[in-house]
Structure formats: C-alpha cells, structure tokens
C-alpha cells in the first residue's frame, strides 16, 4: 500500500469515526433536553456526570436545557444545571434568556431563582410561544373591497386550477399578487357564492406571520375574486418533489413554521379548523424556502368553542385523502386534532422524502390509515424523539 493510499484509508476511518461521534452527540443533546423538559433531575444529572459539556447543549433553536427548565418552572433541574456550569444568560434563536422565558411563562419561583444566580431578562419575552397578534377591528367592506380596474392581468401567470376557478399571479397597483378567480359560469351558483363569501369572511380576520396574508376581494362585480399576497417560492409539494428528503434540522424548522400558523388558527374560543392541510397548501416565501406560510382556506371552518372538549359534527371526507385524519374519513365527529394528523403526515413526508403510503392510491391510503395503520419509518438517523 502506498503512503497516499494509507493516509486516505486513515482519513476515511477518521471521517467515519467523526460522523459516529457527531451522531452520538446529537442523540445525547436530544436526551438532556428531553429529560429537562420532563423534570427528571436524576436523568439530567446522570448525563452530565457522563459528559459535563452537555450543560451547554443547544437544539435547532439554540435553546439550552436551562431554557427548557425555566420555561416550565422546573426549579430543581434549573438549580442543578446552573451549579454544573450552565450559562444563566444564554440566548436562544429569538435572543431570549432563560429569565425572559420564565417571565413570559409567569413562573414566579423560577424568576426568583434565576435572578439570584445573576439572570438578566432580555430578548423578546416568550416570543417562541406561538405568536398571537392583536386581532384587527372588524372591517367594513370598503376596507377590503377592490375595484377590478386596479388589477392588471396583462402578464398573468396561471398558478393552479380547480373545479370552481383558477389561481393566477397578476398585479395589483404594481405589486405581484395571487388572485383566486371564480369561473364566470359559476358566479351565479348560490353554493359557490356562499363558499366564496365564507372564505373571504374568514381570511379578513386572520393576521399571522405564518398565514398567507389576505389583501382584498372583488365581491360586487363578476368574476368574484380573492386577492392574497404572492409567495415566490411556490408550494411545499413542489419543493419536496425537487429536494427529496430534508435533513432533520430543516424539516423541524419547516414544521415549526407550519405549527405556529396552525396554533394561531386553533387558539380558542374562535377556532379555525383548516381541514385540508397538505404540502400543496403550504407555501414558501421564496425559492430558498426561508419561511413557510399556511394557505388555501376554502375548506376551513370557523367554530366557536364553548369549552375545550367540544367536538363538532362537520362534513365527512373533506380535504385530501392522503393527509386525511381517520375520523374525517369515517364521517365521525371531529375537532381541530384532524389538522394535527395532517401536520404529522406532512412532517413524515419531509423526513422520508416521499408522500405517506406512496405505494397506495390516495383513497386506499386513507382507508388503510382509518383501520389503525400508520406509514413505516424508513429514513436512517431518526432519533426516537423525532419519531415520537
């Protein structure tokens, strides 16, 4: 064996060893964060005895075990972490310190403890909670009714087509926008008009960074049109088709964007159940997909919740079969958890690089899932917490 061959063989072995170490490190980071979340002082201490550097472990949002303990008010875990060298003023992705988290979550005992150890409060108090923007005042129609003459279709580009109409990219006062245009032949159909007005009345109430922004509508003239912001990155379905399986960090960041938008929709007492959450209805802000937004509320329902256990009787088999929750497929009573099921199917697709049960036709996939089955995990390197 020549010297160069020997050195390349050694570097290959070193590279494999480094990868193995990195994998173990990721797994241990997940474990200490998980045990801190579970208020398991003994398990956290055991991990730190084995590897002291884990006290500085960070997740994909730069959150440390102390951030997690502070948020939940687990005083014993926090004290032990600080005594083992945790940085009491570490900052996460939102620049929050553990004390800012404790204050955001109103954990008074934790606030006292962190201040005793020199904790400072800076960052955006509790900003990693699902943002709850201030609800706008109920709008007058004149606030959002758009005159069709302001819309420029001279360079319109077809984005999508459905049985009720089409979505095109056009311009409104010089700005590219997405316009859902109802087919002229359906503009007098009472049910179509009712559904269109329902979507407008719903969208006009929504304000959130992870929800596609409603800009206005044409309801006084035909064709009926709904105007929203235009997102250049296209939809998540196309993105995944091109990229395949995403690495865990990217998939988690994407999932968090979707989850924040959905958590906003699901906030009581005015709960919006999307009912058609799927990759085609999740849009990328740009081609780099730095930011995702949930869109297309044509099938959504706004329900007034009297108490958190309310279950609603709504239309069965609403939405897309491949991402459909079993209770919807079976025409049973359901609530906002149907969106959680669809979210899980999207998360699965991001990790695996293929649609759930891709070997089945969509209807057969929904039927298979409704019988209690779930798609199998094939992707390597998935930590147990992520599978869970």
DSSP 270: E
Is 339 a known active-site residue?
A: no
Q: From CA 130, how far away is CA 214, in angstroms rounded?
A: 20
Q: Quote the tokens at residue 27.
A: 């797994």
User: Which of the following is catalytic: 59, 92, 276, 296?
Assistant: 276
Rounded distance between C-alpha atoms, residue 209 and residue 292, angstroms: 9
Cross-strand partners of 216 = 227
d(Cα 164, Cα 192) in Å, to the nearest integer? 8
Residues with Cβ within 8 Å of 314's Cβ and at least 6 positions away in sequence, in order, are 273, 275, 301, 334
Interatomic CA distance for residues 131 and 322, integer angstroms = 29
Where are any strands of DSSP class E within 198-250?
214-218, 225-229
Q: Two tokens at 295? A: 């869109």
Confirm whether residue 107 is marked as ligand binding. no
**Residue length, the chain?**
388
Q: What beta strand segments (E) does 277-352 contain? A: 282-284, 292-294, 301-304
Alpha carbon separation from 157 to 68, 190, 227 (Å, rounded) = 47, 28, 14
- The answer to whether 341 and 275 have CB atoms below 8 angstroms apart is no
Q: Are strands 225-229 and 214-218 parallel, antiparallel or unpaired?
A: antiparallel
Tell me the C-alpha distance between 234 and 261, whole Å: 18
For residue 66, say if its preceding peptide bond is cis, omega within 30 degrees of 0. Answer: no
| Binding-site residue positions | 180
Q: Pick out the residues of the known binding site for ATP.
A: 180
Which residues are catalytic, by number? 276
């Amino acid at each position: 064996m020549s010297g160069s061959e020997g050195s390349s063989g050694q570097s290959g072995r070193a590279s494999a060893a480094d990868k193995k170490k990195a994998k173990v490190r990721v797994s241990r980071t997940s474990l200490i964060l998980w045990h801190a979340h579970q208020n398991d002082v003994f398990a956290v201490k055991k991990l730190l005895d084995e590897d002291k550097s884990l006290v500085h472990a960070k997740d994909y949002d730069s959150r440390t075990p102390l951030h997690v303990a502070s948020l939940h008010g687990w005083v014993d875990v926090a004290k032990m972490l600080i005594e083992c060298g945790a940085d009491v003023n570490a900052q996460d992705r939102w620049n929050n310190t553990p004390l800012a988290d404790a204050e955001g979550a109103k954990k008074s005992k934790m606030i006292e403890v962190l201040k005793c150890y020199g904790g400072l409060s800076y960052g955006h108090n509790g900003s990693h909670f699902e943002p709850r923007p201030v609800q706008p005042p109920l709008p007058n129609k004149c606030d959002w009714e758009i005159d069709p003459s302001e819309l420029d279709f001279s360079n319109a580009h077809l984005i999508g087509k459905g049985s009720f109409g089409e979505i095109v990219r056009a311009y409104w006062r010089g700005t590219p926008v997405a316009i859902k245009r109802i087919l002229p032949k359906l503009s007098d159909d009472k049910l179509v008009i009712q559904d269109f007005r329902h979507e407008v009345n719903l969208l006009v109430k929504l304000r959130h960074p992870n929800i596609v922004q409603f800009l206005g509508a044409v309801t006084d003239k035909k064709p009926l049109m709904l105007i929203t912001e235009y997102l250049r990155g296209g939809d998540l379905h196309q993105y995944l088709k091109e990229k395949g399986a995403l690495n865990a960090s990217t998939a988690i960041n994407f999932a968090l964007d979707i989850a924040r938008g959905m958590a906003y929709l699901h906030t009581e007492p005015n709960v919006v159940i999307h009912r058609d959450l799927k990759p085609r209805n999740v849009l990328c802000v740009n081609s780099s997909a730095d930011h995702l937004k949930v869109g297309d509320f044509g099938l959504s329902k706004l329900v007034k919740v009297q108490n958190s256990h309310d279950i609603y009787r709504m239309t069965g088999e609403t939405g897309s079969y491949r991402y459909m929750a079993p209770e919807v497929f079976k025409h049973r009573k359901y609530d906002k958890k149907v969106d959680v099921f669809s979210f899980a199917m999207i998360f699965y697709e991001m990790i695996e690089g293929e649609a759930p049960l891709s070997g089945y036709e969509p209807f057969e996939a929904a039927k298979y899932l409704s019988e209690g089955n779930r798609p199998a995990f094939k992707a390597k390197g998935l930590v147990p917490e992520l599978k869970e």
